[in-house]
Amino acid sequence: MRRSRKVKILATLGPASSDEAMIRKLFEAGADVFRINMSHTDHPTMETLVGRIRAVEEAVGRPIGILADLQGPKLRVGKFANGKEELTVGQTFTLDDRTELGDATRVNLPHPEILQSVQPGHRLLIDDGRLQLQAQAADGKSIVCTVVSGTKISDRKGVSLPDTDLPVGALTEKDRRDLDAVLATGVDWVALSFIQRPEDLAEVRKIARGRASLLSKIEKPQAVARLAEIIELSDALMVARGDLGVEMPLEAVPGIQKQITRAARRAGKPVVVATQMLESMITAPVPTRAEVSDVATAVFEGADAIMLSAESAAGEYPVEAVATMDRIARRVEQDPTYPGIINAQRSEPEATGADAISLAARQIAETLKLTAIVTYTASGTTGLRAARERPQVPIIALSPVLQTARRLSLLWGTHCVVTPDAADLDDMVDRACQITFAEGFGKVGDRIIITAGVPLRTPGSTNMLRIAYIGSDGLGGI
């Protein structure tokens, strides 16, 4: 089953989409990768979902990626004697380490790292920014604040700290347990929440030991400030616009989205745009015009994947949401302005043999109007370099490693096929032509371009280009 679009769709599983039949419907509607949100999923449920996705994968005969999204540090205020309180703008309100239930003047904040890190002038955003406080004084045990906007606060509401760099890593004890569990099931991607600094990735890499690729969610100002360093240590990025829009001005988020997507493209790392893309489809069978435009913008920007959250996890129309996203993406990619926009954002290749080969493959394929670019890739690196070029023709990534094919299912314009390694150069050409024909990308007489590393089975050694045509026997000719 080949997709007629280049951008990939990432669908979150949940109560509305957890049985095997629904997962298959979502795949057939257009989902390429499935996300399991560990904030709402226990280990037995996660293991069941992974098993069902793998069963669908076997049934459809296509590699399907799985992303496990770790919760990250959830910072919350304590409880109130009345469950909630009404505040007034301008009043003083204190967050402290006292364990008594809160009232209209104070509440417990069970996070000593916040009490010790916040400085006068720092903002504290409660309940996704609905209540904004500004610190006036802090002594390590309490933070005396002024209410800037909003009037309501209640038990266990979340706290965001856009101005404060917390001296804690992105992994909590729950995350460590979840990470061990998801790695044991063989998920392909692990998403890290609330990354602040590149060092936050080090512990996860040490635990993962290459068993899964790491996706950094950019949702804090501190991460935006150190974006280049975080990209270097990540395998992929996500523009997590929900929390990003809480911790930064809403009007800044579209520009930051473009900065992140373009920086990731320059680095050759996949980038996902997420949050509220088709939010109204949680309860409605059709999206708003503004949501359609939002999805289209991400596709025009050249994002590798676009993501559905509650729309597919808990909405009333999960299949329709995926199908709608698929239709929008296909229509954008057929728009006459699309190639020019994608080409205008292309960056210069790095001074490496692999980058030079990938650039040449795109230019040759587009100049000669070839049918496809076929890349042999064991580790996935060759596929990443090919997709970085954003060619107009499809990329067919052939890999002997199932895990590599699953990970590349997140990658723009890439159709992944698991196949044994070629025995020699002739077998490599024949196999590429056979698969291009069998997968519906080419017909007899069409020409393809093949990239690979010689000697074969040498990871990271992409150094060869070969143009071949599909013969009448399905094999390749030069």
Q: Do 176 and 154 fall into the same domain?
A: no
CATH at residue 126: 2.40.33.10
Q: Would you place residue 458 in the very low, low, confident or very high pLDDT band (cuts 50, 70, 90)?
A: low
Q: Would you place residue 348 in the very low, low, confident or very high pLDDT band (cuts 50, 70, 90)?
A: confident
Domain containing 236 equals 8-72+170-337
- Bridge partners, residue 80, by sequence: 102
Backbone angles phi, psi at 158, to 5 degrees: -70, 155
3-state secondary structure the chain: CCCCCCCEEEEEECCCCCCHHHHHHHHHHCCCEEEEECCCCCHHHHHHHHHHHHHHHHHHCCCCEEEEECCCCCCECCCECCCEEECCCCCEEEEECCCCCECCCEEECCCHHHHHHCCCCCEEEECCCCEEEEEEEECCCEEEEEEEECCEEECCCEEECCCCCCCCCCCCHHHHHHHHHHHHHCCCEEEECCCCCCCHHHHHHHHHCCCCEEEEEECCHHHHHCHHHHHHHCCEEEEEHHHHHHHCCHHHHHHHHHHHHHHHHHHCCCEEEECCCCHHHHCCCCCCHHHHHHHHHHHHCCCCEEEECHHHHCCCCHHHHHHHHHHHHHHHHHCCCHHHHHHHCCCCCCCCHHHHHHHHHHHHHHHCCCCEEEEECCCCHHHHHHHHCCCCCCEEEEECCHHHHHHHCCCCCEEEEECCCCCCHHHHHHHHHHHHHHCCCCCCCCEEEEEEECCCCCCCCEEEEEEEEECCCCCEEC
Q: Do 68 and 198 fall into the same domain?
A: yes
Asked if residue 459 has pLDDT above 80, the reply is no
Q: What is the value of pTM for the model shown?
A: 0.93
Q: Do 138 and 264 fall into the same domain?
A: no
Backbone angles phi, psi at 121, to 5 degrees: 100, -20
Token output for 461: 């050694």
pLDDT one-digit tens code per residue, 8-21: 999 999 999 999 99
Q: What is the pLDDT of residue 453?
A: 80
Q: Do 289 and 333 fall into the same domain?
A: yes
CATH at residue 389: 3.40.1380.20
Q: What is the pLDDT of residue 350?
A: 78
Q: Do 28 and 131 fall into the same domain?
A: no
Q: What is the pLDDT of residue 1?
A: 73
Token output for 143: 């933070």
**Residue at 237 is within a domain:** yes
Asked if residues 402 and 379 have their Cβ atoms less than 8 Å apart, the reply is no
What mean pLDDT comes out for the span 333-358?
A: 88
Asked if residues 398 and 435 have their Cβ atoms less than 8 Å apart, the reply is yes
Asked if residue 474 has pLDDT above 70, the reply is no
**Residue at 79 is within a domain:** no
Asked if residue 384 has pLDDT above 60, the reply is yes
**Residue at 2 is within a domain:** no
pLDDT one-digit tens code per residue, 298-339: 999 999 999 999 999 999 999 999 999 999 999 999 999 999
* 35 in catalytic set: yes
User: Rounded distance, CA 332 to CA 296, Å?
Assistant: 6
**Residue at 42 is within a domain:** yes
Q: Do 139 and 239 fall into the same domain?
A: no
**Residue with more model confidence, 122 or 476:** 122
Closest among 241, 254, 318 to 281, alpha carbons compared? 318
Backbone angles phi, psi at 37, to 5 degrees: -85, 110
- Of 122-131, 163-172, 268-277, 283-292, which range is least confident? 163-172
Q: Do 102 and 38 fall into the same domain?
A: no
User: Rounded distance, CA 107 to CA 83, Å?
Assistant: 11
The residue annotated as part of the active site, out of 5, 197, 217, 385, is 217
Where do we find the tokens 């049934």?
A: 59
Asked if residues 430 and 410 have their Cβ atoms less than 8 Å apart, the reply is no
The residue annotated as part of the active site, out of 275, 375, 382, 404, is 275
Q: Would you place residue 157 in the very low, low, confident or very high pLDDT band (cuts 50, 70, 90)?
A: very high
**Residue at 253 is within a domain:** yes
When the pLDDT of each residue in the chain is averaged and rounded to a whole number, the result is 94
The vertex-141 CA angle with 138 and 143, nearest 5°, equals 35
* Residues sharing a CB contact under 8 Å with residue 291, sequence separation 6 or more, in sequence order: 276, 277, 278, 279, 280, 281
Q: What is the pLDDT of residue 478?
A: 55
The last residue of one of the domains, among 279, 313, 337, is 337
Q: What is the pLDDT of residue 457?
A: 64
**Residue at 31 is within a domain:** yes
Q: Do 146 and 41 fall into the same domain?
A: no
User: Rounded distance, CA 212 to CA 189, Å?
Assistant: 5
Closest among 37, 70, 372 to 191, alpha carbons compared? 70
The residue annotated as part of the active site, out of 25, 54, 76, 226, is 76
Token output for 117: 């890190």
* 76 in catalytic set: yes
pLDDT one-digit tens code per residue, 233-280: 999 999 999 999 999 999 999 999 999 999 999 999 999 999 999 999
**Residue at 343 is within a domain:** no
Token output for 434: 């056979």
Q: Do 209 and 322 fall into the same domain?
A: yes
pLDDT one-digit tens code per residue, 408-439: 999 999 999 999 988 888 999 999 999 999 99
The residue annotated as part of the active site, out of 8, 24, 35, 385, is 35
pLDDT one-digit tens code per residue, 34-57: 999 999 999 999 999 999 999 999
The last residue of one of the domains, among 292, 313, 337, is 337
Closest among 110, 169, 168 to 142, alpha carbons compared? 110
Asked if residue 440 has pLDDT above 60, the reply is yes
User: Rounded distance, CA 470 to CA 477, Å?
Assistant: 6
Q: Do 57 and 100 fall into the same domain?
A: no
Q: What is the pLDDT of residue 354?
A: 79
Q: Would you place residue 475 in the very low, low, confident or very high pLDDT band (cuts 50, 70, 90)?
A: low
Indicate the number of domains in the chain. Answer: 3
User: Rounded distance, CA 436 to CA 143, Å?
Assistant: 63
Asked if residue 113 has pLDDT above 80, the reply is yes
Q: Do 359 and 473 fall into the same domain?
A: yes
CATH at residue 181: 3.20.20.60
**CA distances for 431 relative to 272, 421, 468, 473, angstroms:** 32, 9, 11, 12
Q: Do 293 and 359 fall into the same domain?
A: no
**Residue at 331 is within a domain:** yes
**Residue with more model confidence, 289 or 475:** 289
User: Rounded distance, CA 463 to CA 202, Å?
Assistant: 31
The last residue of one of the domains, among 286, 311, 337, is 337
